[in-house]
Structure 1
Amino acid sequence: VAEIGGKGAVAFGDGNPPPSTKLEFRKDSSFYRGDNYFAAGGMTKGEMMAECRASTVLAEVASEATSCGRFVRNGYKHCGRCVPCLVRRASFIRANIPDDTTYVYPSLRGAQLENEPNDIGAVAVAVLKVEQNGVRLFTAGQLSFAQPSRRREFEGVVQRGLAELGVLLRQEQIL
């Protein structure tokens, strides 16, 4: 957790620095400065938020962080329907932190009707494919960046991340 103006802040999403990898970031202190936070922790964004030791500070500032892939185009507001916004929304649910973000599309059901890329539909298909066929078929050939001994760990992150998204989509009555 970085100190900004006397208030702790945690940045999440594309274009933002990763959450702090100092020892105090996770409750079990398993992060070390300089570690890649995804590789080191094998965690989803929701899991990282849930495990944050500064949960009070996180609850105060997380809604102020930027995640949206269309943030500037939407007048510096989160759209609520792009993949980064969907991951953001699912992460708040997973961490049981109220999401005070103002979204252009607060309802995902209404957002589906827009004539833009259908990120909601794409995520819904991904969630269902993994639920029906397992994560291994979904990630086949996509984890070549990882050492073979770590691929199962990354498959787990993908599976749990899509499960978090599934909770969001069901809560919003998309699935």
Structure 2
Amino acid sequence: MTREDRAGRGRVEVAYDCFRFKHVAGTVARAVRAALFFGKKEKTAVFVFLVSDSVMAKINRETRGKNRATNVLSFVPPGGFPHPEAGDKNPYLGEIYLAPDFIKKSREDIAFLAIHAALHLLGYSHAQNNDRIEMEACEKKIYSAYVKHHHRN
């Protein structure tokens, strides 16, 4: 199952293989879209996958050598690598994997983590302290705007 968001003529597609993840697909798409807007990359393609803890553990093991589930992973394609479904008008920015059950158990916010992952696709990092400080400031700014815009009473 997928949910597609084409606001701003870019493409954020959220896929899930478990029906219980359907309720967060819209939240995730809007959060990623907010980060892309912040990074002035609205006209790009991002694919998001909502996966079970076991699938996330497998991806984490195969890509990072860590045999456990995690909350979020993001992958930037090799330079200039096209995605077959991104389309000619939407440069492919990358993929995000989120584990909603893991995130819920950890009492984390899936929208915040979607923003975090999208920032990685935009080139942000938290490997060095200065990079971490900059990335966290961006996360807070985007998340604050996201909450203000999407959680009105």
Please give the TM-score of this superposition, normalised by the length of structure 1: 0.28
Q: Using CA pairs below 8 Å that are at least 6 residues apart, which structure has the higher relative contact order?
A: 2
Please identify the structure whose Cα radius of gyration is greater.
1
Answer 1 or 2: which has greater strand percent. 2
Please give the TM-score of this superposition, normalised by the length of structure 2: 0.31
